[in-house]
Structure 1
């Protein structure tokens, strides 16, 4: 019979930064859309909101894809990240190209919102990594305190005695 270790081999891919990023982006997009709507018009405000939604969706997709690849094998994370980036760039270019030049949404404002949102999310991820205790290698399992483990009894003589 083998004892099961309480130590998990799961690398612990933490995706909780996605909630923080989404919350910060929602606040920034709300404020940005309000200011932009007053200054530049409501089609610009919609551009800010759509840009924030796109960036949030793209970072969520990247986080999930990289975490999924990392759970399979750490060596898959870089190809997964690069592949996801390539697909997201194609989708973004297709979206921007499909929008009419003079429509209900200002493409230039949308593009700037995407750039600002990407910088915001990058800052959120950087701070998240800097404030977390991350290990280069998986730490060893803590020693187990088995209740029925054989311990030497000081009152009983040992094998030599």
Structure 2
């Protein structure tokens, strides 16, 4: 097991959760209005509930994986797989608990979950592709770090 050395902890950035929630919220509102006008308000409710389920699932996954990664990097894969399994069981339970002719359309909700998962995946991909990810910690910018030692061992000014 690879325990972290003191001072080498890299913070886990969860800023994609805010972006994902905002984009999903905007898309869900528009989709719910369109679905409500075209197919009925049960479909609009299905869109909104599906978007809320997907957002909650991605937030839970992000927080759990970041928590596991803060403990040790080797815990992130088991945390991700375990969280995925729990979320799949919860989603199955939610879909089965809903009445067939209830206040929301289950099929629309299921399609909203699929579309929402693809949307969140795209958001995460773009987030990763547009971030500078370093293999090693970069040096501090000039003028913000410690002064390099001179050949005689004293600090120099640049």
Q: TM-score range by the shorter chain?
A: 0.7 to 0.9
Tell me by how many angstroms 1:9 deviates: 1.9
**What does the per-residue CA deviation read over 1:134-156, in whole Å, with 9 as the maximum and x for residues that have no partner?**
12x3325546228xxx5289xxx
1:87 is aligned to 2:86: yes
Question: Which residue of the partner structure matches residue 139 of structure 1?
Answer: 137
Q: TM-score w.r.t. structure 2 length?
A: 0.85
Question: Which residue of the partner structure matches residue 77 of structure 1?
Answer: 76
CA RMSD of aligned residues (A): 2.2
Q: Give distance in 1, aligned partners of 2:155 and 2:132.
A: 38
Contact 2:95 2:106 in 1 (8 A): yes
Structure ID, larger Rg: 1
1:56 is aligned to 2:58: no
Tell me by how many angstroms 1:102 deviates: 0.6
Q: TM-score w.r.t. structure 1 length?
A: 0.84
Give the alignment of 1:1-161 within 5 angstroms: 8-135=7-134, 137-139=135-137, 141-142=139-140, 144-145=146-147, 151=154
Query: What secondary structure does 2:52 align onto?
Result: helix
Q: Give distance in 1, aligned partners of 2:147 and 2:155.
A: 15
Structure 1: gaps spanning 5 or more residues: 1-6, 154-161
Query: What secondary structure does 2:9 align onto?
Result: coil
Contact 1:11 1:138 in 2 (8 A): no
